[in-house]
Amino acid sequence: MSDDDQEDTTVQIIRGSDGEPAFATVPHREFEELLTKSRRVTGLDAAVNAIRGEVNRLALIPSEVVHRISEGEHPVRVWRLHRGLKAVELAREAGISPGGLSEIETTKKDVSFETMVRIAKTLEVKLDDLMPAIDEGMIEEHRREVQLRDIARRISEIDSMINGSAGFDSGAVRDAAEHLISEATSFMADRAGRFDWLEGIVDKARKTIEEINSTEKSIVETVTGTQKRLSEVFSDSLARAGLFPREMLSETKKSEINGGNRPEAAASAEAGEDADLGDADDEDEDGERSRGWFLR
């Protein structure tokens, strides 16, 4: 029997009912090794496919386009001519003036990222195909513009929350101000010294949060203080003057809970009050009528 026909002694073959191999068991160490090798092969396949895709994409670019760009001609002009578009047609579709497009194609004008995106879409090419018309500086400029627009939008949002006609929500304003501080601080950290004017906005946002916190604290203290003063003005003063003893308040509440709504309770209470008033009149030796407990 040849070596190929011999089964590895470290591998156990489990056969099915038909006698054919169905499963193979291997030591765990060998299984881990096989799994690692499989992952490496999978990663390698993915890399190869990516390279092939890029090669295929480059292969689809006509050699004439490649040569003209490599010789220094502007990619926008090369691709426009390849697509058979007139300058005025491309300018109209991309939303720019023919003169602006002419300056772009002669590399005399800096181009915004948004403009290049529209041109690439019109020419039906990838943005990378317009390189070197797009460089890192242009990408950074686009990123900066997007972040600045986000910061401006946040500022407008806070202003609307404060001055708008909708109900004021101090918590929402505080959250928006905190986001503004985070966004502006991060923006300045990436561009040290170039946008220091944002520090004034961050300072205003911090003061806004401080004012909200201070006001909310004052409101709580005002409510608590008002409650205490009202207790002194009304309840405590009545008790000190003997006009309404505190124990009467508790007794009144008890009667309302235990029987204030029952007819017999109300009648009993009324009879008791009449008897008390009668007794008070009888006990007044000077002939002056007493007005009961509430003047004692």
Q: Which of 115, 134, 153 is a domain's end point?
A: 134
Question: How many residues are recorded in the chain?
Answer: 296
Residue 207 within any structural domain of the chain? yes
Can you give the pLDDT at residue 249? 53
**95 & 148 share domain:** no
Can you give the pLDDT at residue 55? 47
71: CATH: 1.10.260.40
Those residues whose C-beta lies under 8 Å from the C-beta of residue 14, and which sit 6 or more positions away, are 21, 22, 23, 24, 25
Can you give the pLDDT at residue 145? 80
Residue 235 within any structural domain of the chain? no
Nearest to 204 by CA among 186, 189, 184, 218: 184
Question: Which pair of structure tokens corresponds to residue 132?
Answer: 């070197």
DSSP 2-48: -TTTSPPTT-EEEE-TTSSEEEEE--HHHHHHHHHHHHHHHHHHHHH
As averages over each run of 10 residues, the pLDDT of the chain (296 residues) reads: 50 84 82 76 63 51 79 87 91 90 79 84 84 62 81 88 80 90 85 77 90 87 81 70 59 51 47 48 45 38
Nearest to 112 by CA among 99, 94, 85, 129: 94
CB burial string 211-229: b at 16+ within 10 A, e below:
eeeeeeeeeeeeeeeeeee
Domain span including residue 89: 65-134
Residue 172 within any structural domain of the chain? yes
Q: Which of 95, 117, 134 is a domain's end point?
A: 134
Residue 47 within any structural domain of the chain? yes
Residue 9 within any structural domain of the chain? no
**109 & 161 share domain:** no
Residue 251 within any structural domain of the chain? no
Q: How many domains does the chain have?
A: 3
**163 & 206 share domain:** yes
Residue 208 within any structural domain of the chain? yes
**165 & 204 share domain:** yes
The phi and psi torsions of 22 (rounded to 5 degrees) equal: -110, -40
Residue 52 within any structural domain of the chain? yes
**77 & 127 share domain:** yes
End-to-end CA separation in angstroms for the chain: 124
Nearest to 45 by CA among 33, 34, 53, 56: 53
Interatomic CA distance for residues 212 and 218, integer angstroms: 10
Q: Which of 212, 233, 264 is a domain's end point?
A: 212
Under a CB-based contact definition with an 8 Å cutoff, are residues 195 and 187 in contact? Answer: yes
DSSP 8-state secondary structure symbol assigned to residue 165: S
**69 & 130 share domain:** yes
